[in-house]
Amino acid sequence: MKITYKTLLIGVATVLFMGGCHSNASKAPVESSVAKDTIANVPLYDLQRNTANLYDEISKNKLTVIDFWASWCGPCRMEAPNLIEIYNDYKDKGLGFVGISLDGEYKKWTEGIEQLQLPWPQYSDLRQWDDTLARMYNIESIPHTIIVNSKGEILAQGLRGDELRHFIDTQL
């Protein structure tokens, strides 16, 4: 199949209009005994493939932005500079970030982190849309954020750009 410039532009415009990368699967969320107004403390896997504790990261900060993204997601890559700017502006005031990648390949995941120069902790189980935390909170498009306090209580979801900055500014 030959991809023309026009086809490429239509594809990019469609993704931008839709606002993110979407799951093709319609899977039921994973059931959890954790209330939906609190983030679940599921096992996470860091870059060295060690198990990590989400609450250890969350408890370090007044607010934590949990950023669901993937290296192959164009809108995620476009949003990354904004997230880095917000992180740099508020990290000394108690803001932390945690990246949850919906990548399926370790090499692409790590290359994406390096290319985007993401400075906060990154985790992935490399199960793409089957990621436990993403399924638990019914994440069907990325980029997607969940903002929690130091106790893991969910304060907001789905904020990007100026909305995310304004929310963080009012909370800190």
DSSP class per residue in 145-158: EEEEETT-BEEEES
What's the whole-model pTM score? 0.81
94 Rama sector, left if φ>0, alpha if ψ -120 to 50, beta otherwise: left
Tokens of 161: 């750009």
The pLDDT of residue 16 is above 60: no
- Helix, strand, coil percent content, the chain, rounded in steps of 5: 40, 20, 40
| Model pLDDT, residue 36 | 58
Each residue's pLDDT tens digit, 45-89: 999 999 988 889 999 999 999 999 999 999 999 999 999 999 999
Which helix H or strand E contains 51, and what residues bound it?
A: strand 51-53
Each residue's pLDDT tens digit, 97-143: 999 999 999 999 999 999 999 999 999 999 999 998 899 888 999 99
